[in-house]
Chain A
Amino acid sequence: MSSKKTDRREFLKQGAALASGVAVGAAANTASAQLAGPETFIQGSDDMVAYGSRSRFVESKRIPHGGRHSPDTFGLDFHIATPLQEQHGVITPSSLFYMGTTRGSYLPDIDPAKHRLMIHGLVDNPLIFTMEELKRLPSVSRMHFVECAGNRANSRMTTVQETHGMTSNAEWTGVLLSTLLKEAGVKDGAEWIVAEGVESVKGASSIPMTKAMDDTLLAYAMNGEPVRPQQGFPLRMLVPGFEGIFNVKWLRRIKVVDRYYMTYNDYGHLTQDPVTAALGYQIGPKSVIVHPSGGMQLPGTGYYQVSGLAWSGGGKVARVEVTTDGGENWFDAEIRGEPQPMAHTLFAFDWDWDGSECELQSRCIDELGQIQPSRQEIGEFYETPPGERIRVRGQDNSIQPWRIHSDGSIHNAII
């Protein structure tokens, strides 16, 4: 006991000496030229205490996508793209998450206490759940991207927000749909489900039972807080790796059925070409270099970390390769963090720019061995005659080329 006391006394003495030393130093700085701090302060408020907001100097913002302004003439939100070029890491901030709606939709203002989910159709036990009841069930938290079928790049686009901004990634928390379907007891002959939202147009999508029972998730939270209204508050479906429209928002009803229902959402996928039908379903391996990218300016020669995002609807990203000479030589990029299935994955590549004109590209290889193609490779696969415009069928997962001019300016190099 006594020795402990001594130790404590010694410690206090030393502490006092250290403290006085700091005080002397501080006095000396004050007397001469202490670095000036900011001249203004963010006004404290109850709102800022309750729920923080970003600095007024941070101005990254979403933009309307696909030539249709949101809100449109009717006040409907349609397609809005996330500023990938401003993003660091793999999480898309909830406020900047891309948005798409079935027809354009007014955002439903749903009281979660009144919201219900019904599961019915070809089941032994039709069920209705409140949000509280759903939260009582075993939950999972998983990283998944959502990507719109409209995430297609073309030669007229200049920035990565325009070419690739219709994909975003979040951590989603909720109940696996398989948990609920087992509770309801799926009957023989049930091959599909139809999932439906509560918004004005009541968007509904047909999803194969194999996917519904595999990893489809009913999410009530994203990035640690309730799913945002633009993302389907209080409940949305996550169909990992499938095109965006399958991820039904404001989810209120799941009907277990025996066939493809050809809803209006499904109709958007309708095609006469079986290849296009297959490729517009599960998203292929895909990646894009985000830093640096179109519209940016390299300040000079020397070191740059080339970095970007890779993802695949087929599973985890296995490898990402980068070229700085337009595809002649490919090098392995470094994967940052542990790749998750159907989730944006960060990659980086050390690069010294010598000031000459060059072209940066990346390509993703997923755990199934699917390789992200260049437009030329797609053209060759389908034997597109030379000179004819190459058509990327289904979801566009083609390689994005960025051309660096000798003045350091960066341009979309899609032909």
Chain B
Amino acid sequence: MCLGVPGRVVEVDEMTAVVDFWGAKRRVRIDLCDEPVQPGDYVLNHVGFAIRRIPAEDVQTTIELYEQLLRESTGQGPEDLMAADVRAEIEAGRS
């Protein structure tokens, strides 16, 4: 329900960090984060406070989560699904 915006930590001091939002940089409070943050970490920002450190490896984990869901849903991998799509289009083009 809340506008949480992810950003990348550039600089850290005691209570705050400078976070890069891919176009704008802003200083946010980090005292609500439950893990220490380092430059290079991602954080989730809400109303000027970082509320979560997002581990960089979780980007890939997220993508894998979608792919696993799709695999289980159809019994196929996403590459197979794309191939199926293309085949369907070719078939449609022929008829």
Pair from one complex = no
* Interface positions of A (Cβ within 8 A of B): none
